[in-house]
Amino acid sequence: MRVRELKRMLLPSKFDPTGSYKDPLRVTTRALSFRVLTHAEVETYFEDRVLEVAATALDAWETNKFVSVVTFHLIGFGGRSTDRPPETLHAIEQNKLKEWPSKTSIDDRFSKCVSEFHKRIKFENHGVKERNIMEMFVPIGFYMGRCDPIFLQTMNNFGEARGAVAHTSGKGHVQKAVDPKDEYTTLQKIIASLETIDAEFDRLLRASKAPK
């Protein structure tokens, strides 16, 4: 994540203990920009890691027919029906030719699960709140015990604070001073908690690879 770069670009080089600055409007505007941009960085980090795990599991299946815990979760939480096999090997009706492979081949069904998961994460996920985390983490078999209530509440607060800036008029926000040190401290706490999250992603990545 580009935290150091964003801090250097947007926050004061030294924080005032009292939160008072010569140009409070400019400082507040930049602090709010820091909030929005770092939220995007955290969101991208989550998305990139879960998609990396999913893609690795799919590759392991397609190249070695290796089934991992990630594979099971992607199919189980993919949102697709797991119907029993059809009565015929080939589709009788022309309008069903396209969907028939997913009814008779687990390869096609699993590929679609991963493809739809990728679509949801990349184009439909918009945040880092608890509901977003559930949507991203659970389908790859993430051990949710790593996400304690404090972490989830912190992410909810972080998402709400970002939304307050991104989805409402900026005029009211810049009129109320924002302490840049508070913005940086919040992000530092989140980054510290991500060490445990990152370790779980690493575990899942190893588990999703076919043995050599």
69-119: per-residue pLDDT in tens? 999 999 999 887 777 888 888 888 888 888 788 788 888 889 999 999 999
Record the tokens describing residue 61, joined without a space: 């299946």
Name residue 149's amino acid: P
C-alpha 61/C-alpha 77 separation (Å) is 17
C-alpha 60/C-alpha 107 separation (Å) is 12
Query: How confident is the prediction for the chain on average, in pLDDT?
Result: 91
What was the pLDDT predicted at 82? 76
∠ at Cα 31 (155, 183), nearest 5°?
A: 35
Q: Are 141 and 70 in contact (CB under 8 A)?
A: yes
What was the pLDDT predicted at 179? 93
The number of domains in the chain is 1
C-alpha 82/C-alpha 79 separation (Å) is 9
Higher per-residue pLDDT: 194 or 80: 194
What was the pLDDT predicted at 122? 94
25-57: per-residue pLDDT in tens? 999 999 999 999 999 999 999 999 999 999 999
pTM of the model: 0.89
Range of the domain at 22: 3-208
Q: Are 172 and 106 in contact (CB under 8 A)?
A: no
What was the pLDDT predicted at 173? 52
| Range 148-172 average pLDDT | 84
Give the chain's end-to-end CA distance (angstroms, integer).
32
